Amino acid sequence: MRSLIKTRTLHKWLMRGIGIQVLIWALTGLYMISMDIHFIHGETLSDDKHNRFLIQDADYPIAALLDAFPTATQVTLYKRQNKLVYRFKRTNDTQWTIVDATNGQQLSPLTSSEVRQIATSSITDSANITAVKLIDLPEATPAELSPRWLPVWQVTFDDLAGTTFYIQQATGQIVTRRHNVWRAFDWMWRFHIMDYDDGENVANPLLLVLAVLAIVAIISGILLLVCRFLNFASPGSNTLNALNKGGHND
């Protein structure tokens, strides 16, 4: 009986200590598993159907392009804001170079009004643009965007979901889509892994301590449950007591 009581006391006091976090794990976990991950990623927010083109329209040949830019890699033909273009990177160049695929002329990065058109024609639900802002410094990058895409136009819509498109300034491609369901998911993740500043470090000591305590608390709970159910078969007997006293319990 003593060990049963000790187990219960341990379970109770551990859970009084970490019970709130256990509830947070359950809440945040339930949110994350209930939301379709592709919806969270914003894959339904935009579509690219209008970017289809006929390959026969690419009048400027790749051979000519490689003659003009011999170090070009990752050469790709696609449609940027109603215009057929090649994008490629040159040696030691982190930025994309854009060339008109009909005449080989180099094109400049997109302006805010061009980006507005891309955003409006890409969004699946109708919404109005409230702000268009150029982000070109890593330190000015919002947490919801990876700096590797810079420079990027941030296009904010007025819909309830708080939809935001991040459109690369050179390529005109929507590199990141964010909405409030994602932002909530991001906070759920931070509270789930107990890393509250950026949610990037699962290997944090706070989580280690809480996880170890949780394991002890859960094992003690399972022991209590086992005792409860073993006793169920024979009311009045007392399993742990019986174990302690070598089966003598009358």
Partner 1 sequence: MINPVNITRWHKWLSALVGIQCLIWAGTGLYFNQMDTQAASGNQYRQPVSHRGNTPTARFIPLSKLPVDEPVLSAELIWVSGTPLYQVKTQEPLHQYTAQQHKLFHAVSGLPWYIQPAQVKRIAVKSYNGPGSASAPALTLPPFEFDGRQQNPLWKVTFNDDVNTEVYLHADTGKVIAHSNDHSRLKHLMLTLHFMDYTNTGGFNHPLIVVFGMATLMLAGSGLVLAYRRRLSASPSAKASVDVTVTYNGQRQTLTLPAKQPLFFALTKHNISVPTECGGGGSCGQCVIQTTNDVLASPTERALLSDAEIASGKRLSCQHMAGEFSDVSVDYGEV
216-235: contacts with partner 1 (CB under 8 A):
218-219, 221-222, 224-225, 227-229, 231
Does 26 engage in binding with partner 1 (CB under 8 A)?
yes
Helix 205-232 to helix 2-34 angle, to the nearest 10 degrees?
A: 120
CB of 188 to partner 1, least distance (A): 12
Burial class (CB in 10 A: 0-12, 13-18, 19+), 166: buried
Among 19, 142, 147, 151, binds partner 1 (CB under 8 A): 19
Residue 166 phi/psi, 5-degree rounding, is: -110, 115
CB of 126 to partner 1, least distance (A): 22
Among 103, 113, 236, 247, binds partner 1 (CB under 8 A): 236
Q: Which of residues 63-122 bind partner 1 (CB under 8 A)?
A: 63, 66-67, 70, 74-79
Does 160 engage in binding with partner 1 (CB under 8 A)?
no
Distance between CA atoms of 176 and 167, rounded to whole angstroms?
7
Distance between CA atoms of 152 and 132, rounded to whole angstroms?
10
The stretch near partner 1 (CB under 8 A) out of 56-64, 107-115, 131-139, 154-162 is 56-64
Q: Which is nearer to partner 1, 38 or 138 (CB)?
A: 38
Q: Which of residues 163-222 bind partner 1 (CB under 8 A)?
A: 202-204, 207-208, 211-212, 214-215, 218-219, 221-222
Q: Which is nearer to partner 1, 1 or 132 (CB)?
A: 1
Among 61, 142, 147, 151, binds partner 1 (CB under 8 A): 61
Q: Which is nearer to partner 1, 19 or 142 (CB)?
A: 19
Distance between CA atoms of 170 and 1, rounded to whole angstroms?
73
Does 248 engage in binding with partner 1 (CB under 8 A)?
no
* Longest CA pairwise span in the chain (Å): 99
Residues 6+ apart with CB under 8 A from 237: 231, 249
CB of 137 to partner 1, least distance (A): 27
Number of C-beta neighbours around residue 123 at 10 A: 21
Distance between CA atoms of 175 and 167, rounded to whole angstroms?
6
